[in-house]
Amino acid sequence: MLTIYNLTVKVHCRPSFLLYSGISHTVFYLAKDTMKHCIYIVIFTAFAVLIVQHQREIRHLRHQLDSQNQVIHAMQVTQHNMSLQTTLALQIGRSTQQSLHDSRTKRFVKVTAYSPRVEETDSTPFITAYNTRVRPGIIAVSRDLFDKGWTFGKKVYIKSLGVFTIEDLMAKRKTNQIDVFMPKTTQAISFGRKNLEAHLLAHPPLKADTYTRLYRSPTPDFLLATEDICSRLN
């Protein structure tokens, strides 16, 4: 009976053990798969977090780059405006300088003529204030023009008359006037008085000793020779 009972028990116990063993293996494999899935989820989540963080950093860098580009653009606009303002200021300066230059070098003046007579000049009618010999092609200017830069040695173009050299000064009472030298008194008288346009021309600067030679006394031989030439012309 025992043997039969034991066999019966064995027969009844073996399927339970196999079932338990199968369940254990199933649970183990399920747990293993679950762990794998959990690991995969953790890895995926970590990558997702990294990607999101990286995208945030990219957006932040793009925002900084856009801000810097805006600053650079504003600086470029400011620099361009400053360049335009500088160019405009230079143009205005050149225009003003040109206007001032034109106002000093171009004017309408009274033009008369004079000849080498004491009545028209001074005690040395054949010597200019520039200490040179009178001759055709020279002019005398009023002292106000002289003070404005129409000085000795400079060239002046008088419309319809030609180019002359400033070598003499007029009396103090004369203003805005040019006196053209003419060898003959009859020519000077017939010339009369005209209102003409005159231009002060550019020329190289005068020598350093120019103004120290202005009133040097001429030699007697020079005076006699010049007076003789003019007396023959008259």
pLDDT of residue 170: 93
pLDDT of residue 134: 93
Contact 167, 210 (CB under 8 A): no
Q: Tens digits of per-residue pLDDT, 151-176?
A: 999 999 999 898 999 999 999 999 99
Q: d(Cα 180, Cα 138) in Å, to the nearest integer?
A: 7
pLDDT of residue 168: 94
DSSP string, 107-165: EEEEEEEE-S-TTTS-S-TTB-TTS-B--TTEEEE-HHHHHTT--TT-EEEETTTEEEE
Positions of the chain with pLDDT under 50: 1-13, 99-100, 205-206, 208-218, 222-223, 233
Residue 72: C-alpha distances to residues 59, 66, 69, 83 (Å): 19, 10, 5, 16
Percent of the chain at pLDDT > 70 equals 67
* This prediction's pTM: 0.47
Q: d(Cα 164, Cα 124) in Å, to the nearest integer?
A: 21
pLDDT of residue 210: 44
Domain ranges of the chain: 105-233
CATH of domain 105-233: 2.40.40.10
pLDDT of residue 139: 95
